[in-house]
């Protein structure tokens, strides 16, 4: 209980938030690092996932990519960060941190986007193809809207994981909220360590909430004026039979 009270006292002290090295500066650094790594991860994972999921002949390649991606999750980010830091890459500022976080952010984005596109409703896809849509139109107007929930789940998962893991940047001399925690360890200030952990957890929850709202607002199926999803015509045996009066009219 004393740790919680002390952490609250630390968080409510104005001087800890302002100035060089204050919480606002560290929060800005944390958001910038997380946003950059999320964008780079998405730039690498999403085009590959769409290419693999859209092409039926590439399904085996997609399975291999997903398995390799999932295997990459087993590699500790901290270990990758340490190896990159002591390598020649470590001479380039925050490059080791960015590379390690991008490698960590790719798997959930790649897996969810690939599964969403590859397993889009085949009846709807075939109906759209029968309407004369080109492969590009099929991907962007049918498959991606159908894959949107899974795709956004991958984005939310990657974002929250990156927010939490970006704290490791402080161990390599980078910025972010992790510096609050490491500074507390250096001075044996338990309240500051606890406060830094609370800040990281709170930011992760906030990012999750913002992205959940954004997912709901940007859902293609909820936007006004959205194009209707192509539907397949029901087979003849599923159509209602003519009534007696209709047959008499005919």
Rounded CA-CA distance 40/118 in Å is 23
- What residue ranges define each of the domains in the chain, with the CATH number in brackets? 21-222 (1.10.3720.10)
Give the number of other Cβ atoms within 10 Å of residue 25's Cβ: 16
Question: 109 with 66: CB under 8 angstroms?
Answer: no
Residue 39 has which token pair?
A: 């964008």
Token pair in block for residue 225: 């004026």
Whole-angstrom distance, CA of residue 40 vs CA of residue 38: 5
Digitized pLDDT (tens) for each residue of the chain, 250 residues in all: 688 888 899 999 989 998 888 999 999 999 999 999 999 999 999 998 888 887 654 556 677 777 777 777 777 787 888 888 787 776 777 888 899 899 889 999 998 998 888 888 778 878 888 888 887 888 888 888 989 999 999 999 999 999 999 998 888 778 899 999 999 988 888 999 999 999 999 999 999 999 999 999 988 876 555 544 444 444 444 444 444 444 444 3
Kindly report the pTM of this predicted structure.
Answer: 0.82
């Amino acid at each position: 209980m004393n740790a919680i009270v002390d952490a609250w006292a630390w968080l409510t002290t104005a001087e800890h938030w302002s100035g060089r090295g204050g919480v606002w500066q560290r929060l800005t650094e944390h958001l910038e690092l997380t946003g950059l790594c999320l964008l780079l991860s998405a730039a690498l994972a999403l085009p590959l996932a769409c290419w693999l999921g859209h092409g039926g002949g590439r399904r085996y390649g997609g399975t291999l990519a997903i398995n390799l991606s999932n295997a990459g999750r087993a590699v500790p980010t901290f270990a990758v960060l340490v190896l990159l830091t002591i390598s020649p890459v470590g001479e380039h500022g925050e490059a080791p941190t960015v590379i390690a976080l991008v490698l960590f952010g790719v798997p959930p984005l790649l897996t969810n986007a690939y599964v969403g596109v590859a397993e889009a409703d085949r009846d709807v896809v075939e109906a759209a193809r029968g309407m004369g849509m080109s492969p590009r139109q099929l991907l962007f107007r049918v498959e991606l809207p159908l894959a949107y929930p899974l795709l956004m789940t991958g984005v939310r998962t990657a974002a929250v994981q990156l927010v939490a893991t970006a704290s490791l940047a402080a161990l390599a001399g980078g910025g972010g909220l992790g510096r609050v925690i490491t500074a507390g360890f250096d001075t044996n200030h338990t309240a500051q360590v606890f406060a830094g952990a609370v800040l990281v957890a709170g930011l992760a929850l906030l990012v999750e909430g913002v992205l959940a709202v954004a997912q709901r607002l940007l859902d293609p199926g909820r936007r006004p004026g959205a194009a209707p999803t192509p539907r397949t015509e029901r087979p003849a045996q599923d159509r209602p039979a003519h009534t007696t009066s209709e047959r008499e009219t005919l």
